[in-house]
A and B are shown apart, each in its own frame.
Chain A
Amino acid sequence: MSGRTRGTVVLLCCLLAAAVLALGLSGAYTSEHNDTQQGVATIDTWNMTVRDANGQAVEGYPAAITTPVDLHGLTPGWTVTLTATAELSAQSTLYLNTFYAPYQLYVNGNLADSYGAPSTYPAFLSDPPPFNSAVLVAGNESPAQISIVYTVPSSYWGLRLTSMETGSFDAVRVMLFSQMGFAFSFGETLIALGLVLALLGLIVRRLEANSAIFIWLGMFCVCIGMWSVGECDLSSVIIKRPVTLHMMTYIGLYTLLIPLTHLTRIVIDRPGDKLPFVLCRASEIFALAAIVAQLAGVWQFSESLFAYYVVSISLFGLTTAYLALSLVRKRTERTPFKVYYLVVVVIFDVFLGLELANYYAWRVVPEMVFCEIGTVIFTLSLIAMSGVYLKNTIEEKLAAQTMRHRIALIGKRAEAERKQNRAIIDTSNEIRRQRHDFKHQLAVIRGYSEEGDPAKLQAYLDEISAAIPEGDRAHRYCTNFAINAVVGYYVDAAQAKGVERVDVKLDLPRDLPAAQENDLAGIVGNLMENAVRAAAAVRAARPSEPDAAFVHLRGRTANGIVTIVQNNSYLTVQRDDQGGFVSQNAEGGVGLQSIKQTAEAYRGNARFEAEDGVFTSSVYVHVMA
């Protein structure tokens, strides 16, 4: 990726992050105020009573509180009753939430809603999961008394009490969606995006192993999405499955470490190093242990959260530090991709830290905002980087394969040139012999002439005429020595495989710069190699039709352009998804790709077509002769 493109990607990510932050902040601002003009009122002033398990009032707690507030020092099983009065219309909606605490909601003494009865959640959870409820109640326009009785949870550190929102159903709905709609949509989108990425990665992995980066990135998006959806208050209003959402939250959070450590391992790309693999295993073991422990009911997610923080900070810190160290120590491994990844990971770590700080202390923005920003930056950056990385990897592999192919062709060309040189030497020796004989022949002619014997003279002239060689043993297909050698090699190969109809005439420049000559020889060699292989297959399949197998190669030079066209017989061809041809070579092959790339490097082009048993190749390149 060029510097400019990289800069553009980072800039766009920052702009998107700023937009998300702005949206989140604006949502936070409007949600903190009693804005009856929106039709939603907030009840945040309560009378409070704390009672023990026997129903006795417990001293030491204020009689009036303002929510939100956290109460500490409570004993599991105690109850905390909040009461307030509010104006309710004929059809009012009360929105409230609870963190692990069962509750009963009373309106004018009547039970309006309850949550957290032991039968409503599985036995491996010690407390009911967090829940948000929008309860429809009927009022009569006079002040109504609202009471909420919370039961202190057994495993949570205290009791978190939040404000209650009241208003019409539509008003409450608008409020919820305006505050939390984005987070909910964001989470769902991430899950969908993650699944698509992972699926793409699985598909591409068949072709390119390094595409595992997309699989892990997809898993990362799914984890963040699950965490976001599970954590979002709106989710439990829409999806009335608090246990499922609770599991989604923690499974998403805990498994998040796995794709991150694996991504870092791939980026580090040092199979001999143990630490990256150890970190990957650690993340997998921790996630598995925490989930199994929760399912066994021995370690609640809420209890293991601190351990998760320790593990995640350690793993994040270790992997980031290890990557940074490897880049500092070994300059040869300092690729732009690794540096870019390090920067992106650090940015994500920062936003993750901000999210935790906001969640536990600041509360200046709604939950998940910082995480969403960091995720957007991380995901988009990594998608862009991975795409470039994958493209570069594929290109490097293709280049390496092309180079191996070229080296093989050079070897064949060298062998062909040796044969050609031998043929030239043989011809030279023959000419030398004939020059030696010529003097003797002239003497004989002079003798017959002096004898006046025309018959004998004619017979002798016929004899020596017949002995004149017809031409070079080194067959000439074109005036360029190197390309002529390559063609000769493949013509011999074709004839060895029974392909007799090989017709080659190339009008190519005799002298070319060395690099151009090599490339042109490569093009001709690739063309002939494919053609001879295909024609030989036809010959083998149709032994009684020798004329069915043929190779016909022509070349023309005009206006500084060399044009080469070839027709050859074939049995079968395979096409790829883009309509191109797949190599039939058992070892794999890049011949046609190599031809096209070489042609394009010389401002030319190459086309290949197959129809009715004739494979047509057409190539042109600009040359400097």
Chain B
Amino acid sequence: MNTLNVVICEDSLADMRRLMGIIPKAPFETTITTFVHARDFAQAYIPGIYDLVFMDIFMGDAGGEETPCGVEAVAALRRVDAIVPVAFITNSTDFALDGYRLSVNHYLTKPVQAAAVHDVLAAAHEAKLKRPGLSVRVDRKDVTVCPDQLVFAEQSGHYFTLTMVDGRRLRVRGRLDQLEDRLANPQFLRCHHSYLINLALVQDVDADTMSASLYGGNTAFIRRGWLARTRTAWEDWMFAMTRKKDAEGER
């Protein structure tokens, strides 16, 4: 859990080497993965694998498009992972709006300075340490999962199955009531006696089929009498997240 997994997306070898020289000097363990093309990064990205992304805004040839490839790559990343910290490497503040839109955490100007990079690394490491971890016993082994990566949990007999964003399905002995108590977070909602869903990964609530559509094509059923409150809780979540997105802008 203490190792910080860093990915660098930079098409300039010089800038990449510069970063790769700074990052290992952090006071904690780090791993580095590099991408030269934004498209490769977007296709290879799996939520939960990386703890920090350095992204060159003008990575690769924008091909005449208004939005640089680096921004598009982060946009694609954010569609599947709202949590991983992202640092733009840029010369210009022209993409500040994109930064807001994509919840970019840091801006580093080229040539990047060691002190600024270490600040970014420290912030990401602290965020990782603070990120709640859920320890569950799977096949007689203890596994720690990040609740934010949990899509939904389904009870079946004496076991419940955790479906994660990366497609993993973890079968855990126990009751959903116990999991619900452990999570104790308004982000997670019991919508059915056999289903617990992550509101952040809900894509739709369908009254006709009495079900919630979730990330990754998953479906969780909703108890008929709980449909209204499930919908309300999901709406509350979306509205709260939108307001939280830029909390300092509040009155």
Interface residues, chain A, with chain B CB atoms under 8 Å away: 471, 476-479, 503, 505, 507, 510, 550, 552, 554-556, 558-561, 563-565, 567, 603, 605, 607, 614, 618, 620, 622
Main secondary structure of the interface of A (DSSP, over half): strand
Q: Are A559 and B97 in contact (CB under 8 A)?
A: no
A238 to chain B, nearest CB (A): 50
B157 to chain A, nearest CB (A): 31
Q: Are A554 and B245 in contact (CB under 8 A)?
A: yes
Count of inter-chain pairs, beta carbons less than 8 A:
69
Residues of B within 8 Å of A622, CB to CB, are 204
Q: Are B249 and A503 in contact (CB under 8 A)?
A: yes
Residues of A within 8 Å of B204, CB to CB, are 603, 622
Q: How far is the CA of A554 from the CA of B94 in the complex (A)?
A: 19
Residues of B within 8 Å of A620, CB to CB, are 235, 238-239
Q: How far is the CA of A556 from the CA of B201 in the complex (A)?
A: 14
Q: How far is the CA of A556 from the CA of B237 in the complex (A)?
A: 12
Residues of B within 8 Å of A561, CB to CB, are 203, 238
Most interface-central of B82, B238, B250 (chain A CB within 10 A)? B238
Q: How far is the CA of A448 from the CA of B245 in the complex (A)?
A: 49
Q: Are A563 and B94 in contact (CB under 8 A)?
A: no
Q: Are B251 and A554 in contact (CB under 8 A)?
A: no
Most interface-central of A479, A558, A605, A622 (chain B CB within 10 A)? A558
Q: How far is the CA of A560 from the CA of B215 in the complex (A)?
A: 11
Q: How far is the CA of A622 from the CA of B235 in the complex (A)?
A: 12
Q: Does B243 contact A (CB under 8 A)?
A: yes
Closest to A477 in B: B97
Q: How far is the CA of A603 from the CA of B231 in the complex (A)?
A: 12
Q: Are B215 and A559 in contact (CB under 8 A)?
A: yes
Q: How far is the CA of A170 from the CA of B126 in the complex (A)?
A: 93
10 A-B residue pairs with CB within 8 Å:
A554-B243, A558-B241, A559-B79, A559-B202, A563-B238, A565-B242, A607-B239, A614-B251, A618-B239, A618-B242
Residues of A within 8 Å of B137, CB to CB, are none
Q: Are B235 and A505 in contact (CB under 8 A)?
A: no
Contact flags (1/0) for B59-101 with A, using CB distance below 8 Å? 0000000010000000000110010000000000010011011
Q: Does B29 contact A (CB under 8 A)?
A: no
Q: How far is the CA of A505 from the CA of B247 in the complex (A)?
A: 12
Count of residues in B whose CB is under 8 Å from the partner chain: 27
Q: How far is the CA of A503 from the CA of B98 in the complex (A)?
A: 16
A-B CB proximity, top 9 nearest: A507-B101, A618-B239, A556-B242, A559-B203, A563-B242, A563-B238, A565-B242, A503-B249, A505-B100
**The one of B79, B97, B250 that contacts A552, using a Cβ cutoff of 8 Å:** B250
**The one of A503, A554, A559, A618 that contacts B235, using a Cβ cutoff of 8 Å:** A618
**The one of B201, B203, B251 that contacts A560, using a Cβ cutoff of 8 Å:** B203
Q: Are A567 and B251 in contact (CB under 8 A)?
A: yes
**The one of A479, A510, A554 that contacts B242, using a Cβ cutoff of 8 Å:** A554
Q: Are B97 and A476 in contact (CB under 8 A)?
A: yes
Q: How far is the CA of A344 from the CA of B94 in the complex (A)?
A: 70
Closest to B201 in A: A559
Residues of B within 8 Å of A563, CB to CB, are 238-239, 241-242
Residues of A within 8 Å of B231, CB to CB, are 605
Closest to B241 in A: A556
Given contacts A471-B94, A505-B249, A554-B246, are A479 and B101 in contact (CB under 8 A)? Answer: yes
Residues of B within 8 Å of A507, CB to CB, are 100-102, 245
**The one of A476, A565, A614 that contacts B243, using a Cβ cutoff of 8 Å:** A565
Residues of A within 8 Å of B251, CB to CB, are 550, 552, 567, 614
Q: How far is the CA of A64 from the CA of B186 in the complex (A)?
A: 94
Residues of A within 8 Å of B101, CB to CB, are 478-479, 505, 507
Given contacts A505-B246, A552-B251, A559-B203, are A478 and B239 in contact (CB under 8 A)? Answer: no
Q: How far is the CA of A561 from the CA of B67 in the complex (A)?
A: 21
Most interface-central of A478, A510, A554, A607 (chain B CB within 10 A)? A554
Closest to B213 in A: A559
Q: How far is the CA of A510 from the CA of B242 in the complex (A)?
A: 18
Residues of B within 8 Å of A476, CB to CB, are 97
Residues of B within 8 Å of A503, CB to CB, are 249
Q: Are A552 and B249 in contact (CB under 8 A)?
A: yes
Beyond A471-B94, A554-B245, A558-B82, 19 additional contacts (C-beta under 8 Å) are A476-B97, A479-B97, A479-B101, A503-B249, A505-B97, A507-B100, A552-B249, A554-B242, A554-B243, A555-B242, A556-B238, A558-B241, A560-B203, A563-B239, A565-B239, A567-B251, A605-B231, A605-B235, A620-B239
Residues of A within 8 Å of B239, CB to CB, are 563, 565, 607, 618, 620
B250 to chain A, nearest CB (A): 7
Residues of A within 8 Å of B67, CB to CB, are 479, 510
Q: How far is the CA of A607 from the CA of B231 in the complex (A)?
A: 13
Q: Are A564 and B203 in contact (CB under 8 A)?
A: no
Q: How far is the CA of A555 from the CA of B249 in the complex (A)?
A: 13
Q: How far is the CA of A620 from the CA of B202 in the complex (A)?
A: 13
B132 to chain A, nearest CB (A): 21
Q: How far is the CA of A412 from the CA of B183 in the complex (A)?
A: 49
Q: How far is the CA of A471 from the CA of B97 in the complex (A)?
A: 12
Q: How far is the CA of A564 from the CA of B203 in the complex (A)?
A: 16
Residues of A within 8 Å of B235, CB to CB, are 605, 607, 618, 620
Q: Are B79 and A558 in contact (CB under 8 A)?
A: yes
Q: How far is the CA of A161 from the CA of B174 in the complex (A)?
A: 90
B202 to chain A, nearest CB (A): 8
Closest to B94 in A: A471
Closest to B202 in A: A559
Closest to A560 in B: B203
Q: Are A556 and B250 in contact (CB under 8 A)?
A: no
Contact flags (1/0) for B5-44 with A, using CB distance below 8 Å? 0000000000000000000000000000000000000000
Q: How far is the CA of A478 from the CA of B100 in the complex (A)?
A: 10
Residues of A within 8 Å of B241, CB to CB, are 556, 558, 563
Closest to B200 in A: A558
Q: How far is the CA of A476 from the CA of B251 in the complex (A)?
A: 22
A608 to chain B, nearest CB (A): 12
Closest to B249 in A: A503
Most interface-central of A471, A476, A507 (chain B CB within 10 A)? A507
Q: How far is the CA of A286 from the CA of B238 in the complex (A)?
A: 67
A457 to chain B, nearest CB (A): 21
Q: How far is the CA of A560 from the CA of B80 in the complex (A)?
A: 12
Contact flags (1/0) for B174-203 with A, using CB distance below 8 Å? 000000000000000000000000000111
Residues of B within 8 Å of A479, CB to CB, are 67, 97-98, 101
Q: How far is the CA of A471 from the CA of B246 in the complex (A)?
A: 22
Q: How far is the CA of A552 from the CA of B94 in the complex (A)?
A: 22
Residues of A within 8 Å of B245, CB to CB, are 507, 554, 556
Contact flags (1/0) for B132-155 with A, using CB distance below 8 Å? 000000000000000000000000
Q: How far is the CA of A554 from the CA of B204 in the complex (A)?
A: 21
Q: Are B97 and A478 in contact (CB under 8 A)?
A: yes
Residues of B within 8 Å of A477, CB to CB, are 97
Closest to A505 in B: B100
Residues of B within 8 Å of A471, CB to CB, are 94
Q: How far is the CA of A620 from the CA of B204 in the complex (A)?
A: 11
Closest to A613 in B: B251
Residues of A within 8 Å of B201, CB to CB, are 559
Q: How far is the CA of A479 from the CA of B241 in the complex (A)?
A: 20
Give the residues from 199 to 251 in chain B that come closer than 8 angstroms, CB to CB, to chain A: 201-204, 215, 231, 235, 238-239, 241-243, 245-246, 249-251
Q: How far is the CA of A556 from the CA of B245 in the complex (A)?
A: 8
Residues of B within 8 Å of A550, CB to CB, are 251
Q: Are A567 and B242 in contact (CB under 8 A)?
A: no
Residues of A within 8 Å of B249, CB to CB, are 503, 505, 552, 554
Residues of A within 8 Å of B238, CB to CB, are 556, 561, 563, 620
Residues of A within 8 Å of B243, CB to CB, are 554, 565
Closest to B203 in A: A559
A217 to chain B, nearest CB (A): 36
Closest to B93 in A: A471
A38 to chain B, nearest CB (A): 54
Residues of B within 8 Å of A510, CB to CB, are 67
